[in-house]
Amino acid sequence: MRLTINRKTHSQGSWDCKRQREIRSTGLEDRMSDVIAALVHASEKAAKIARACRLEKSLFGLLIEEKKEGEKNKKFVTDFKTLADVLVQEVIKHDVGKQFPGIENNIFGEESNEFMNGLGEKINVKVCETEQETAKLLSKVLDGNMEAAEVLARSAHQNIVIPDLDTGKIDIPQDRLGVWVDPIDSTFQYIKGISDSKPNNNIYSHGLQCVTILIGVYDLHSGTPIMGVLNQPFAVQDPETQRWSGQYYWGISYGTTNVCSLRPHSKNRDVSSESNSVSAPHHLKKGSAADLEEERFSAVLSTGETVCVQTLLKGACGDNIHYAAGAGYKSLCVVLGFVDVYVFSEDTTFKWDCCSPHAILKSLGGGMADLRECLRRRQDGNLEDCSELVYNAPVQDAKGADRWANKGGLVAYRSRKHLDAVLNLLSGISV
C-alpha cells in the first residue's frame, strides 16, 4: 500500500470522522486522507488531553509515576511519567493505526503503557473501542475516580477538526514508514506547571511553554526523517480565564518535495543546495571586528551542557546564548528562527526527541547533525560531509532507553553556514 498525500477538495474544508469512514469504506488509495493531517489531528487531540490532565490540581498527583530503571533518562536523578504521557501515546497509536491499518506496528514511543495505581495494581493503558470502556479502564489507574476518568476518556475519543493542510501530492510507501512519538517532552516542566515564566527574546527558559508533543515519521530502510509534527499545547494563556491554548507546526521532506506549515509548498526545490550556497568558510577567520561580527550566531543550550562547550559558544555568540528546558522546545526555537542553532554534546537525547523537529528543519533547508561524527570527519580532513541523525538503528550493546540515545550529541540548524560555524568552533574538542 502507498500513502498518497493529496491537497483536499472536499467541501467541509476539514479532516473529520466522516472523512475517515469514507476512506475506510472505499479502500481507494487515491482517496486516502492526508498522512500529515492524521498526525496533526492526533497531536491536537493529544494536546487537549495534556491540558485536561492539568485542569484539576487535586487530581494531578494521581497521574504521576516514577519511571522504572530501564525507562529513565540518566540525565535526571528521578524521572517521571504521567498518565497524560501514556494516554497521549496510546491515542496517537490508536488513531493513526485505525486510519492506516498496520502502521501501528511501527509506531514507537518513549513510554511503556504500563501504569501502577495506588493499590499496587498494574494496568496496561490503552484506548478502547468506546468512550465508556476507556473511562472504566482509566478509573482503575485513578483509584476509582470515575469523574476524572470520564474527562480523560472524553478527550481521548473526541472529534477534532483541523483546517486543510496545503501539502501537494506525495506518494509514500506505507511499508517504509516508522513513527517516533514523544507524547509529552519536558515532563518535568509539565509536572511543575509553572505558568508565569517570562521569555527572553521570545525564548522561555522554563515553564509550561517548554512542553511539546512530538510525532516524527522516518524511512524504516534509510532512517532519514520524512515528516514531523511539533505541537506546543501550552503556547498562550488567557489572562482572564487562565486557560491555555496551543499551536502546532509540521513539515514534510521526501524526495524532491519540501513543504512546511511555516512557508508555501515547494516541489522540485533543492532546499539543501540553497542553504549550502551560503555555507560558512571552513575555518574561522581571525581579523577585523566586522569579520568577528559576521561570524557571530545565536544558540540555545541545555543548562546541563559541558563547561567546555558553553565557554566556546559564549565566546562566539556573546549575548546570543540562551538556555531552555526540553529538547523539543529547544529544537522549536531553531525551527521558528529564534536562534540559529541548538547544540547538545551529551548523549541524553533520544530518537523520539529529534525525529519530528528534524523532519521540519529538513523541510526548511536545515537538519540535525550528529555532532561527534561530524567533528570526527572534520578531524580526518573531510570538511564537506555532514552526518545527519538517523532513526532506524539502535545503539549496539545498549539496554533500555539507551538503545535509542543520540550517542554523539547533536546540532539542530536551519542554515548550513551555522552548522559549519559550530563545527569549526568545536573542532578542537575531544571526540
Kindly name the residue from 167, 187, 224, 257 that is annotated as catalytic. 187
Cell match 511543575: residue? 192
Among candidates 31, 38, 368, which has minimal Cα distance to 229? 38
Give the separation between CA 302 and CA 186, rounded to whole angstroms: 12
Kindly name the residue from 34, 44, 90, 182 that is annotated as catalytic. 182
Give the separation between CA 104 and CA 179, rounded to whole angstroms: 9
3-state helix, strand, coil in the chain (%, to 5): 40, 25, 40
Give the separation between CA 83 and CA 240, rounded to whole angstroms: 28
What DSSP line would sit under 240-289, residue for residue? TT--EEEEEEEEEEETTEEEETTEEEEET--HHHHHHTTPPPSS-----H
Give the up-direction half-sphere exposure of residue 162: CA atoms within 13 A in the CB hemisphere: 23
49 is catalytic: no
Residue 254 CB burial class (10 angstroms; 0-12, 13-18, ≥19): buried
Kindly name the residue from 170, 184, 226, 360 that is annotated as catalytic. 184
Kindly name the residue from 85, 219, 305, 347 that is annotated as catalytic. 85
85 is catalytic: yes
353 is catalytic: yes
Give the separation between CA 296 and CA 92, rounded to whole angstroms: 41
- Cα 345–Cα 423–Cα 363 angle in degrees, nearest 5: 85
Q: Which residues in 255-340 belong to E strands, given as ranges?
A: 257-260, 263-267, 299-301, 321-323
Kindly name the residue from 95, 219, 305, 353 that is annotated as catalytic. 353
295 is catalytic: no
Give the separation between CA 426 and CA 388, rounded to whole angstroms: 17
385 is catalytic: no
Kindly name the residue from 44, 111, 185, 420 that is annotated as catalytic. 185
Residues designated as active site: 85, 110, 182, 184-185, 187, 353
